[in-house]
Amino acid sequence: MKKIRQPIIAVLGHVDHGKTTMLDRIRNTRVAEKEAGGITQHIGATEVPIEVIKKLAGPLLSLWKGEIKLPGLLFIDTPGHEAFTSLRARGGSLADLAILVVDINEGFQPQTIESIEILRKYRTPFVVAANKIDRIKGWKVVENEPFLVNIKRQDQRAVQELETKLWELIGKFYEFGFQANRFDRVQDFRRELAIVPISAKYGIGLPELLVLIAGLAQKYLEEKLKIEVEGPARGTILEVREEVGFGTTIDVIIYDGTLRKDDIIVVGGRDKAIVTKIRALLKPKPLDEIRDPRYRFDQVDEVSAAAGIKIAAPNLEEALAGSPVIAVRSEEEIEKAKKEILEQIKSVIISTDKVGVIVKADTIGSLEALSKELQEKNIPIRKADVGNISKTDVMEALSVKEEEPLYGVVIGFNVKVNEDAEEIAKAKNIPIFVGNVIYKIIEDYEAWVKAEKE
């Protein structure tokens, strides 16, 4: 049986521009009428059912002609471009859509630019939330109002200032090759980027933001979102973690099919595919039902896409964040899944004795993103792996340095440098470039190369 699943939505943007505040506000959305149903907490994600959006939106729904048949929206709880690069699936992004949050008073910042580059690379459609409009001088705040209602309360000056700031933003997007416009002035959503002015803090404009996303998904992604719901599940690992009473578990976003408690799953490990049998499928308990923090989960028998779920199973210690999870129901499928997963891992985790840089990242997805950038700049890679920067990495760079000093470096994205690695790097003069903005890390490395050559 085919059904349309919830689109998976990711939130990106510069630090402090309001990503977390916006997600919190969406999570806390309450709709007065009981029958509208509530927001459901998943593992690593939050689901907003379509009834809630319809109730919030009221007449705004007329933005979209035609009915919205989606069951709702699934927001990934971890915002930021680092998280986004980890969310890889089917060679692209796990996220079907994204919200780029930009502080309207600050405009483009380094992580805004990084987010745009990443969204472009993954071809992920997105909308822009121009946040913190309440900070505009003289702005009159009414909590939770749609933007189009709230704007009517503002005096001429505040409206003018908003327009000026929007124009600046639109100009910036133009520089980056996007035609953008305020959402209610967009003629063609396929060609123009929609900007919704919001205040995450006060909930202004969030109704429009939600309606817009739902409408875009319905109109342009319906085919992609149609899944064979009874089929075996596919997902991506968000996180690998210890859980009291369950051992090592994986938090997974399921984007296809149904995962059943008695399924076998195949997941990616560092140098192998792990085949294991599910012990338990865990969902977070509603907050008000948690009496003992040790029992934070409810066990379920099955879960259908799209959903976030915690899987407890043996042998997950070496599972890799960002790698695929494939459920299988026959021997033959096991072999196929193993092959597919191994191919994916081998395309990302590199281990050669070439003269080249050492690359580390926090997940297989972010490692792939960083390696691709380096390759595009013709910077050779000797080793690319998931994990913090270790002494071994520095030693490896040291051996490269003997052959080609400019490649004797370690480059890391969203990882820590172990203490002993730091010490030996200092002693042996091996530069380490780390950070959480890919293009900045590469710029730093290139600046260093330039300085060394002079």
Site residues, Mg ion (CB under 5 A): 19-20
Instruction: State the binding string over 68-107 for ligand GDP (x if CB under 6 A, else -).
Output: -----------x----------------------------
236: number of CA atoms within 13 Å, CB side? 26
Taking CB under 6 A as the criterion, the residue among 5, 7, 8, 21 binding ligand GDP is: 21
Nearest distance, CB of residue 102 and Mg ion, angstroms? 14
444 binds ligand GDP (CB under 6 A): no
196 binds ligand GDP (CB under 6 A): no
Torsion of CA 38, 39, 42, 44, to 10 degrees: -170
Of 112 and 124, the one with the shorter C-beta distance to ligand GDP is 112
**C-alpha distance from residue 173 to each of 148, 178, 453 (Å):** 23, 5, 36
**C-alpha distance from residue 167 to each of 50, 317, 405, 423 (Å):** 32, 50, 47, 49
360 binds ligand GDP (CB under 6 A): no
| Bridge partners of residue 250, in order along the sequence | 240, 311
From 385, 256, 227, 261, select the one nearest 325 (Cα to Cα). 256
192 binds ligand GDP (CB under 6 A): no
201 binds, among Mg ion, ligand GDP, none (CB under 5 to 8 A by kind): ligand GDP
Of 131 and 304, the one with the shorter C-beta distance to ligand GDP is 131
Nearest distance, CB of residue 133 and ligand GDP, angstroms? 7
Alpha helices in 377-418 (DSSP H): 391-403
Taking CB under 6 A as the criterion, the residue among 5, 19, 81, 383 binding ligand GDP is: 19
Please say whether the beta carbons of 428 and 394 come within 8 A: yes
Please say whether the beta carbons of 110 and 102 come within 8 A: no
Of 20 and 40, the one with the shorter C-beta distance to ligand GDP is 20
Of 17 and 382, the one with the shorter C-beta distance to ligand GDP is 17
277 binds ligand GDP (CB under 6 A): no
15 binds ligand GDP (CB under 6 A): yes
Taking CB under 6 A as the criterion, the residue among 131, 258, 304, 366 binding ligand GDP is: 131
29 binds ligand GDP (CB under 6 A): no
Nearest distance, CB of residue 366 and ligand GDP, angstroms? 18
Give one word for 381, left, alpha or beta, with left for phi > 0 and alpha for psi -120 to 50. Answer: beta
Taking CB under 6 A as the criterion, the residue among 20, 109, 181, 418 binding ligand GDP is: 20
Q: Which residue is nearest to Mg ion (CB)?
A: 20
Taking CB under 6 A as the criterion, the residue among 86, 112, 199, 344 binding ligand GDP is: 199
Please say whether the beta carbons of 166 and 232 come within 8 A: no
Taking CB under 6 A as the criterion, the residue among 18, 235, 257, 269 binding ligand GDP is: 18
Taking CB under 6 A as the criterion, the residue among 6, 8, 9, 17 binding ligand GDP is: 17
List of residues 6+ apart from 292 with CB closer than 8 A? none
d(CA 206, CA 48): 12
**Residue that is written with structure tokens 């968000």 in the block:** 238
Give one word for 429, left, alpha or beta, with left for phi > 0 and alpha for psi -120 to 50. Answer: left
Of 16 and 333, the one with the shorter C-beta distance to ligand GDP is 16
Helices then strands, counting H and E runs in the chain, come out as 13, 27
Q: What's the burial of 427, exposed, middle or buried (CB within 10 Å: 0-12/13-18/19+)?
A: exposed
Sign of the Cα torsion 9, 13, 17, 20 reads: positive
Q: How many residues bind ligand GDP, per CB under 6 A?
A: 16
201 binds ligand GDP (CB under 6 A): yes
310 binds, among ligand GDP, Mg ion, none (CB under 5 to 8 A by kind): none
**C-alpha distance from residue 9 to each of 150, 243, 316 (Å):** 26, 26, 27
Nearest distance, CB of residue 444 and ligand GDP, angstroms? 22
Please say whether the beta carbons of 67 and 262 come within 8 A: no
200 binds ligand GDP (CB under 6 A): yes
134 binds ligand GDP (CB under 6 A): yes
Nearest distance, CB of residue 283 and Mg ion, angstroms? 24
Chain contacts with ligand GDP (rule: CB under 6 A): 13, 15-21, 79, 131-132, 134-135, 199-201
